[in-house]
Every structure is written in structure tokens, then in C-alpha cells.
A and B are shown apart, each in its own frame.
Chain A
Amino acid sequence: GQQVQQSPASLVLQEGENAELQCNFSSTATRLQWFYQHPGGRLVSLFYNPSGTKHTGRLTSTTVTNERRSSLHISSSQTTDSGTYFCAIDDDTNAYKVIFGKGTHLHVLP
């Protein structure tokens, strides 16, 4: 079945620095999403991005489908960006079975 690897597992930044989060997957994905989770909180969708590049505010998601990878770029990080970022994709045998990576824990220092 589909495997999802996220890196780095954790990241500490000084406020104002940029961050690059990676998601690699083992098989072709037709649904790829990035989520943000505040510590102990609800997961919020950031992007649905199965291919190409999408922007929203200081966030940019780039997915290269044939290379089975996606990235989430955070520019000019803020302390409020702290939390966990997850990549989620569909299973290679069932497009509606959505599985998650283990996440990247981001901590932005003031």
C-alpha cells in the first residue's frame, strides 16, 4: 500500500526565517492535501494540491506528481505558525482511503 514519509520530523526556527517541509510518497496519488494542527487541536486543511503549485498568504505548496513528492514552503515564519503539519494522500488502490504522514512539528521562536 501507499507509504507517506514527511521530513524533517521536527524543525525549530527563529521568527522571520523560512521553512521547507517535505512529503514523499511511494505510489501515484490523485488526492494530496496539506493540513495544519495546532497543538491538541482540530486539523485544518491548508491545500488540496495533487499537482503543480498553489499559494495562499505566506504558504506555497508544490507537488511534482511523477517524482512522488510535495513540499510546503512557509515564508517569513511567525510564532503563530507553530504546530504540526501533515501531508495526506490517497491509497494507491483506493482513492477514498486517505492516509497521513507522521507530520512535521514546527516551533517558531520569538
Chain B
Amino acid sequence: EAAVTQSPRSKVAVTGGKVTLSCHQTNNHDYMYWYRQDTGHGLRLIHYSYVADSTEKGDIPDGYKASRPSQENFSLILELASLSQTAVYFCASLGEERNTLYFGAGTRLSVL
């Protein structure tokens, strides 16, 4: 079974602080994704990556950076956290053998 692990599971951050969300997959998948979920908006794509050391912008990249140091790891970085970035963040990897996204359990981020 494909596995995607996110850390931390929840975090409280202060406005203006730096936040790093981590994602690790053991699926040997090339594609990885970061989404945020807010009530009424479904899931919105922030950044994605198809190979180590390369990232692509999704639909709402402003205020976020991404880093893919290896095939297994994909991080989302908030350099200056803001109140509007309070949300649940999901990481996923894409398995081409079944064309299916596999999701992590999510990280609940509260910016105060």
C-alpha cells in the first residue's frame, strides 16, 4: 500500500514566523503535490513537483515556497506566515501505475 507521511500533524505558528511542512513518500513516485483545504473551497493546488530539485507553481503559489531535495521528500515553506494561511494542508503523490493520487493525513496549521 502506497504511503505518504506528513509532519507535523498540527502546528500553531505566529504571524510573520517561518513554517515548514514536510512530506515523505515511500511509493517511489515521481510526482508530488501540496494542496490546501479551506471550507467552501475544496482543495487548491499550491505547488507540485515531478522530479527532485524541481518544483512547479500550482494555482495559489503566492506566499509559499516548495522544496524537493529528493524523490521521497517534498516540503512546503511559509517564509512569513500570515493569518490567511490558516488551513489544512495535504501532500500527495501520484502513482502512474494506477493513475491515482495517494494522500497524507494532512497538517492542520493555525496562524495566530
Contact = CB atoms under 8 A, between A and B. Distances in A.
B62 interface: no
Interface stretch (A12-20, A41-49, A53-61, A66-74): A41-49
A35 B33 CA distance: 16
Contacts of B104: 42
Contacts of B48: 96-98
B16 to A, nearest CB: 28
Q: How big is the A interface, by class?
A: 20 to 34
A41 B100 CA distance: 18
B58 to A, nearest CB: 7
Nearest to B57: A97
B87 interface: no
Interface string B87-107: 010101010001111111110
Contact of A102 (B35, B42, B58): B42
Size bin of chain B's contact surface: 20 to 34
B43 A86 contact: yes
Interface string B16-46: 0000000000000001010100001111110
A38 to B, nearest CB: 11
Contact of A100 (B42, B99, B106): B42
A33 B102 CA distance: 11
A98 B106 contact: no
Given A96-B31, A103-B42, A43 B94 contact: no
30 contacts: A33-B100, A35-B101, A41-B105, A41-B106, A42-B103, A42-B106, A43-B43, A43-B92, A44-B103, A45-B100, A45-B101, A48-B98, A48-B99, A86-B42, A88-B43, A88-B101, A96-B48, A96-B50, A97-B48, A98-B45, A99-B45, A99-B59, A100-B42, A100-B43, A100-B44, A100-B45, A102-B40, A102-B41, A102-B42, A103-B42
Interface of B: 31, 33, 35, 40-45, 48, 50, 56, 58-59, 88, 90, 92, 94, 98-106
The 5 tightest CB contacts between A and B, nearest first, are: A102-B42, A100-B43, A43-B103, A45-B100, A48-B99
